[in-house]
């Protein structure tokens, strides 16, 4: 092999980049000191851009396509080197491939709470998080402002800076939006679009575009959420007075004594109402039948309130039972003189034989049958 063949073999004649990392933004074509052959083929695939840097100066930018590297395809590089159209010599330049596809599902969130003024609750602390999508819109500017001379630049190297920009602008936008806390869940799309629009000029200075930004959640401190839950419960309850009466009735229903007291009170109320209704009729009947000279007849007293009874048996309470039921239990032997009973108004438990009203149930019982 001659010296000319050796030198010719050192020239690069095919330039391209295939990426399988899924997180590389910029990759520098490694030529290892080899010169690029005049007329070499440059392949720029969809989702890529190729940036030529010659002697530290930004030169030409190539968008997707297949190129023959000649003077007519490299106007800036030709101008920098003062080449004429007869140029056919090899040249040396750094070539950076820039990934221009979208990088999605990137996370952002507020590390510290944002203080905002809510029109209903006053000053509140908010936290928020979501996702965003980013892409390189201006490869040349991105290379100059962010990458520099880094031979391989990944998304992780810039995502932290973008997150800080998002959080800063989100904090400002949420504080100035005036949207009530209770309405923020219904306005997350508008908030995301607002923040993305406000961030766009800042990111454009770095050659970056933010196609999408989503606000997934906006939350209050845990203590405030608990108070808000209580307030929501009160709103569901409605009339607090009616709710308290309902709760008291349920509590009485769960307790045996409460149920007995409730039945006693209902019985007394019904008895008084019946007495009040019967009073005028009794008075008019007395006026019709009595001697005119006699005193007007008085209304009969209300009927006595029937007691209901509870029974203690094997450490458990049964009931309430009416007196008629107690009589049947006494006849069947389920109720004896030594059975402990209780009724509302009674001072503690007593045996059935100690209660006059129940002791009668045993006096009318027939004597035991004669022995066989």
Of the chain, the end-to-end C-alpha distance in Å amounts to 141
Look at residue 96 in the predicted model and tell me its pLDDT.
Answer: 92
**Which residues contact residue 242 at a Cβ distance below 8 angstroms, ignoring those fewer than 6 apart?**
none
Distances in whole angstroms, Cα of residue 288 to Cα of each of 136, 284, 302 = 108, 6, 22
The class that CATH gives domain 103-225 is alpha beta
pLDDT of residue 273: 57
Alpha carbon distance 278, 145 (integer Å): 100
CA 136: distance to chain centroid? 34
Helices (H), 178-221: 188-204
Instruction: Please identify which residue in the block is written with the tokens 């019709």.
Output: 288
Q: How many helices (H) and strands (E) does the chain have?
A: 10, 16
Instruction: Provide the pLDDT for residue 107.
Output: 94
pTM of this structure: 0.56
103-225 and 309-363 have identical folds: no
Shortest CA distance to 315 belongs to which of 356, 349, 353? 349
Domain ranges of the chain: 3-99, 103-225, 309-363
The pLDDT of residue 35 = 78
| Predicted confidence pLDDT, tens digits, the chain (372 residues) | 344 444 444 567 888 999 888 889 999 987 666 678 878 899 999 999 999 888 778 888 999 999 988 877 777 776 766 665 555 667 778 889 999 999 998 999 988 888 888 887 788 888 899 999 999 999 999 998 888 878 888 999 889 889 999 998 888 888 787 788 878 878 888 888 888 998 999 999 999 999 999 999 888 878 777 877 777 776 666 666 766 776 777 777 665 555 555 455 555 555 555 555 555 544 454 445 555 555 556 777 766 667 788 888 888 888 888 888 888 888 888 888 888 898 887 888 888 888 888 887 877 655 566 664
CB-based contacts of 111, cutoff 8 Å, min separation 6? 167
CATH class of the 309-363 domain in this structure: alpha beta
């Amino acid at each position: 092999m001659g010296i000319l063949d050796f030198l010719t073999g050192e020239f690069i004649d095919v330039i391209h980049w295939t990426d399988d990392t899924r997180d590389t933004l910029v990759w520098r074509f490694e030529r290892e000191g080899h010169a690029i052959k005049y007329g070499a083929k440059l392949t720029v695939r969809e989702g890529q851009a190729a940036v030529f840097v010659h002697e530290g100066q930004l030169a030409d930018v190539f968008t997707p396509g297949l190129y023959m590297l000649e003077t007519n395809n490299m106007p800036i590089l030709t101008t920098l080197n003062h080449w004429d159209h007869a140029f056919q010599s090899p040249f040396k330049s750094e070539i950076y491939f820039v990934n221009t596809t979208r990088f999605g599902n990137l996370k952002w969130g507020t590390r510290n709470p944002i203080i905002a003024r809510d029109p209903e609750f006053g000053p509140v602390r908010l936290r928020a998080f979501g996702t965003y999508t980013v892409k390189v819109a201006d490869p040349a500017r991105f290379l100059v402002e962010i990458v520099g001379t880094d031979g391989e630049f990944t998304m992780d190297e810039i995502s932290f800076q973008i997150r800080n920009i998002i959080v800063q602008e989100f904090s400002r936008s949420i504080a100035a939006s005036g949207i009530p806390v209770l309405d923020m869940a219904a306005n997350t799309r508008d908030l995301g679009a607002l923040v993305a629009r406000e961030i766009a000029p800042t990111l454009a200075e770095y050659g970056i575009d933010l196609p999408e930004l989503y606000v997934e959640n906006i939350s209050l401190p845990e203590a405030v959420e608990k108070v808000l839950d209580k307030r929501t419960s009160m709103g569901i309850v409605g009339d607090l007075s009616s709710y308290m009466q309902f709760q008291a009735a349920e509590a009485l229903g769960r307790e045996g004594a409460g149920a007995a007291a409730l039945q006693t009170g209902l019985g007394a109320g019904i008895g008084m109402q019946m007495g009040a209704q019967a009073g005028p009729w009794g008075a008019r009947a007395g006026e019709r039948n009595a001697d005119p000279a006699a005193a007007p007849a008085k209304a009969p007293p209300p009927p006595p309130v029937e007691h209901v009874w509870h029974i203690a048996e094997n450490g458990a309470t049964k009931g309430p039972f009416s007196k008629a039921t107690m009589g049947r239990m006494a006849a069947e032997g389920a109720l004896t003189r030594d059975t402990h009973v209780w009724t509302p108004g009674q001072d503690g438990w007593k045996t059935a034989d100690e209660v006059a009203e129940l002791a009668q149930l045993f006096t009318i019982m027939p004597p035991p049958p004669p022995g066989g």
